[in-house]
């Protein structure tokens, strides 16, 4: 009787532990090669919920997702980030979404500095010298 009750209780809690999963592959848009160790972020309402790194085949995997509407964004150094918006995840659902990144980075702002005096002089080596805040204040500044 007790064993039957325990088994019934365990079976009754299985639906409560149902998993929602989102997975896919991060690839290069030009040649469809997988992007290894890229980053994929799971975003909800503009906030990053979880972040994962792709594996050796470019695969990413999010599990135990709370049902809701999410965005995902993939990124990797040297590539322009790419994403998919409004992915609805329901309870006990598995969805696959692949992301393709384009090589090259979009620069939103570029600042040029003119430093007539070298900030670091490789021909002068000193060790053991203490630099005070007053010394730092009088150092040249790039403008």
Q: Looking at residue 17, which CATH number applies to its domain? A: 2.60.40.10
Decide if 136 is inside a domain: no
Strands (E), 12-67: 21-28, 39-44, 47-53, 59-62
User: Rounded CA gap, 60 and 89, in Å?
Assistant: 16
Count of structural domains within the chain: 1
Please report, for the chain, how many H helices and E strands are present, in that order: 2, 9
User: Which pLDDT score is estimated for 41?
Assistant: 96
User: Which pLDDT score is estimated for 4?
Assistant: 56
Domain assignment of residue 7, given as a range: 2-103
Work out the average pLDDT over 2-16: 52
User: Rounded CA gap, 114 and 131, in Å?
Assistant: 25
**1 pLDDT more than 70:** no
Decide if 92 is inside a domain: yes
pLDDT tens column, 13-71: 544 455 899 999 999 999 999 999 999 999 999 999 999 999 999 999 999 999 999 99
User: What share of the chain in percent tops pLDDT 90?
Assistant: 57
42-46, 74-78, 127-131: which has the minimum mean pLDDT?
127-131
Decide if 135 is inside a domain: no
Decide if 95 is inside a domain: yes
Q: Cα dist. 136→79, 118, 119, 121, 141 in Å?
A: 38, 15, 12, 15, 10
Decide if 61 is inside a domain: yes
Place of tokens 């709370």: 66
Decide if 122 is inside a domain: no
CA dihedral 41, 44, 45, 51 (to 10 degrees): -30
Q: Classify burial at 62, counting beta carbons within 10 Å of its beta carbon; exposed 0-12, middle 13-18, buried 19 or more.
A: buried
Q: Cα dist. 115→10, 82, 141 in Å?
A: 70, 36, 8
Decide if 141 is inside a domain: no
Banded model confidence at residue 133, pLDDT cuts 50, 70, 90: confident
98 vs 119, residue with greater confidence:
98
Decide if 42 is inside a domain: yes
User: Which pLDDT score is estimated for 119?
Assistant: 58
């Amino acid at each position: 009787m007790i064993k039957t009750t325990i088994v019934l209780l365990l079976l009754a809690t299985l639906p409560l532990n149902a998993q929602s999963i989102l997975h896919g592959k991060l690839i290069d848009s030009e040649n469809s090669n997988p992007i290894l160790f890229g980053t994929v972020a799971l975003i909800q309402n503009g906030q990053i919920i979880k972040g994962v790194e792709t594996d050796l085949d470019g695969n990413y995997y999010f599990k135990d997702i709370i049902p809701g509407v999410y965005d995902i964004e993939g990124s990797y150094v040297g590539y322009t980030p790419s994403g998919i918006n409004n992915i609805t995840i329901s309870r006990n659902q598995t969805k696959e979404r692949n992301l393709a990144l384009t090589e090259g980075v979009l620069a939103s702002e570029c600042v040029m500095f003119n430093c007539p005096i070298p900030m670091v002089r490789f021909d002068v080596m000193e060790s053991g010298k203490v630099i005070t805040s007053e010394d730092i204040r009088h150092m040249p500044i790039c403008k």
